[in-house]
Amino acid sequence: MNELATTYSPNEIEGKWYKYWEESNFFAATLDDSKPNYSIVIPPPNVTGILHMGHILNNSIQDVLVRYKRMSGYNTLWMPGTDHAGIATQNKVERKLADEGLTKEDLGREEFIKQVWEWKEQYGSVITTQLRKIGASLDWKRERFTMDQGLSESVKDIFIKLFNDGLIYQGEYMVNWCPRCGTALADDEVDHEEKAGSLWNIKYPVKDSDEFLIIATTRPETMLADVAIAVNPNDERYSHLVGKNVVLPLVGREIPVIADEYVDMEFGTGALKITPAHDPNDFALGQKFNLPIINMMTPDGKVVNDYPAYAGMDRFDARKKIVSDLEEQGLLVKIEAHSHNVGGCYRCNTVVEPRVSKQWFVKMEPLAEKALEVVRNGKVKLMPKRWEKVYYNWLENIRDWCISRQIWWGHRIPAWYGPDMHIFVAKTEEDAFAQAKAHYGKDVELTQETDVLDTWFSSALWPFSTLGWPEKTVELEKFYPTSTLVTGADILFFWVARMVMFGMYTMDDIPFENVYLHGIVRDEVGRKMSKSLGNSPDPLNLIGEYGADAIRFTMIYNTSQGQDVHFSEKLIEMGRNFANKIWNVSRFVLMNLEDFDIKTFDKSNVQLELVDEWIFSKLNKTSKDVADKLEKFQLDEAAKSIYEFLRGDFCDWYVELAKVRLYNKEESGVKSRQTAQYVLWTVLEAGLKLLHPFMPFITEEIWQKIKVNGETIMLADYPVCNDSLVSDDKEKAFEYIQGLISSLRNIRAERGISPAKEAKVVIRTSNPTELETLKANELFITKLAKIEELTVGTDLTTPEQSGFRVNGNSEVFMILTGLLDVETEIKKINEQLEKVKKDLDKVNAKLSDERFTSKAPAHILDREKRIQEEFQDKYDKLMENLKNFQ
């Protein structure tokens, strides 16, 4: 067998094996009719993106599940792809143009789009290249892009279907507008944050009167577009003003005073300025009272030319000037501190403006009904389950989705306008002209819609569009619905719910069966990682230093289902240490298999001893436990189970015990030695396969050295539990040996005796099973516990000057004569006696007190008596030990 290098160097093996896997097409989805199917679609990272710790967590989870299912005999498909990220990508290219002194308007739409595609071709593969670094076993030959030809066609198809079904409409409504990105945003694309602000109290003169109405507002700049003042009809302070007009300060426009119960009499002054063009509630009130809509702001957040004193000023600069002018004219009453929710663009954090605009919308309520039903009936399972309540709340209170964006990069809405603005929705311009001719009875000029669709619109089709829909492909038949979706809880609404809605609408079936919602990766003090805070490490640097396997294992091991991950670089040391442990123990095993060939070994020579039966039992129990945990998406528990088995049971115990037989060169020990070699090979090979989904690179490197056949560990069979090899009795018997060795090691540690010094040990027990176990495993016990002389029996005298432990039903004595300082030991025992005596006296006093014993409940008395017995037993044993030293 080939030896492993002396030290484990992930940089030398990881790139090598990924190249081999990909070139060998091992990641490819199989379409074997005899196999069950398992599929995951990757949450498509933005084409602008680079790898961050959230990607590491998300894709490591997916890779563990896919590798496990692939090894378990499934047709597996992990679908790769990227998202065109409309706003983000356009911003990138616009910034590049700005550096050259150009704007997108300088280029024109067609040339600008061409440049974005060129940018995508140059930089779009950065994130997919980086995903390869962490070992993601995606079927790269099927890679999709949300604007590739097939997906673009599917977007048009579903848009037309929704439009024809009356679920897409166009209307002029209040939308969220980002002045920086120059586009509308959906409600859930606005991040709200409580911020300190001000409440400006302003005098509005009542026409033909000396009276003033005082209005409190958080946005004085929008007063330029006020069209009314609203008061509550039950507010006696203002009832005499309803129906009258006030004069709008700084503008001079007369506006009416109206009454509506919507007005909160307790807020501010109880009188509200109504600005339908710049506030959603005012917009609703404006529609109710048929008020005009006056817009005072340009799309980029500047004051329109209708107000010369402020024309062209940025909205916040205009605010300062307006407040200054009001103060100068004696119309500013006061400024109060006031905290309120401020909406920001989820892409660039710019303060969002409510804006009345003609947009395209999807009617969500009809789509939401089925999406609610499939989660309630369990067809779609959200994990952790607590997210169901959040999901229900959002869908039950859903608002129509604004899907149009005023940018150039994206899926252009497939609509054309006739001379009278009649809308023709079609897949191609030719289809639109044909519709128009049928409608008008002649050829007419058409104007194409300039808006593009919200990026999330195409992402909502991802589970079926990537599989070839609307074509009836083999992949769609086999892999839809997909099996599992792994994503962050923060896009439950943006993406998950919309995929469920579109899946039910388009396919009449759920898009996935299980949704694993993982938490956010935070720093060790709980802050969300970000470049601005400087607390987000570069994953590629971490991979370079620790290796991908160490990072993957660390992230999975420390991620409980649905909980945020508090990450620190120090955590990765655990993963690296574990990898080193696996490497070193594998190297040891390989070095001791030089004269052993599993291919030719005659298994009839196997003579299993207790330690072999124990490790086989533990291996099979671990195999069952890991499979159970993975099926329940308890990946951290599965990782812990493997860790405890390989690091604890195999490395710390079995390998150490195997050395006793491996180093036995006597002829009488040949079969025992060969058995140890056989078990070492078998357990190591199975252990590597158990670990492979979590740490794919190191397991492949080692497995290639010990394999019997097969091209790669990733296509080997995942270990399954063989119930016939599971034995609680054998495990219990070996646990007795473990307890015995640990007891003797603890005696040494407590007394400062060198682990290298051999000692004499006496074990007294009348338990026949323990006696038999001791005699059958005497060689192991003496070697691991460094015993020069072991005496075992039922009627043995307690040796003088000995350390004492109880293990099972056995009394264990280590003779300390010559191993330690007697006077120091006596002093230690006396100190322990003094402490135990105090505790014993206290409980004796309590049980001797008639006032206590007569009133205490029976269970309290029983507890105190048990405590008394424990302290008395401890005291008696310490006294006996003291006598041994005296």
Q: Judging by beta carbons within 10 Å of its beta carbon (0-12, 13-18, 19+), is residue 858 exposed, middle or buried?
A: exposed
Query: Where are any strands of DSSP class E within 80-189?
Result: 81-82, 144-145, 168-178, 183-185
As separate numbers, helices (DSSP H) first and strands (DSSP E) second, the chain gives 30, 29
CA distance 318 to 321: 5
How far is it between the farthest Cα atoms of the chain? 121
**How many CB atoms within 10 Å of residue 652?**
14
* Short-list 346, 377, 420, CA closest to 178: 346
- The answer to whether 598 and 681 have CB atoms below 8 angstroms apart is yes
Q: Token pair of 678, please?
A: 């056989």
394 in Cβ contact with 494 (< 8 Å): no
Give the Å distances, CA to CA, from 460 to 62, 344, 454, 639, 815. 19, 23, 10, 32, 73
Are 204 and 246 in contact by the 8 Å Cβ rule? The answer is yes
Instruction: Return the closest-CA partner of residue 554 out of 529, 580, 574, 528.
Output: 574
> What are the two backbone dihedrals, phi and then psi, of residue 270, each rounded to the nearest 5 degrees?
85, 5
Render 785-817 in DSSP notation, one character per residue: TTEEEEEEESS-PPPSSEEEEEETTEEEEEE-T
Q: What angle do CA 479, 482, 484 make, to 5 degrees?
A: 140
| Tokens coding 42 | 């990757």
Distance CA 65, CA 718 (A): 12
The C-alpha atoms of residue 270 and residue 235 are separated, in whole angstroms, by 8
- The alpha carbon of 172 is separated from its chain's Cα centroid by a whole number of angstroms, namely 39
Residue 599 CA to residue 861 CA, distance in Å, equals 66
All residues at 6 or more sequence positions from 342 whose CB lies less than 8 Å from its CB, including other chains: 192, 193, 194, 195, 197, 351
Going by their DSSP bridges, the two strands 245-247 and 81-82 should be labelled as unpaired
CB 18 within 8 A of CB 700: no
Q: How far is CA 127 from CA 121, 132, 322, 487, 539, in A?
A: 12, 9, 48, 17, 12
| Neighbour count for residue 850 (Cβ, 10 Å) | 7
Q: Is the distance from CB of 199 to CB of 336 less than 8 angstroms? A: yes
Residue 119, both tokens: 């940018």
Instruction: Give rounded-to-5 percent helix, strand, coil for the chain.
Output: 50, 20, 35
> CA 128, 133, 138 angle in degrees (round to 5)?
55
Helix (H) or strand (E) holding 336: strand 332-345
DSSP tag of 724: G
Q: Can you tell me the distance from the alpha carbon of 10 to that of 618, in angstroms, rounded to the nearest whole number?
A: 29
Helix (H, G, I), strand (E, B) or coil at 461: coil
- Residue 68: closest CA among 738, 514, 713, 828: 713
Please state the three-class secondary structure of 481-508 as a single string. Answer: CEEEEEEEHHHHHHHHHHHHHHHHHHHC
Preceding amide of 470 cis, omega within 30: yes
531 is in an annotated binding site: yes
Residue 860 three-state SS: helix
- Give the integer Cα–Cα distance in Å for 849 and 471: 88
Q: In sequence order, what are the beta bridge partners of 523?
A: 567
Q: Which residues are annotated as a binding site?
A: 531
Q: Which residues are annotated as a binding site for ATP?
A: 531
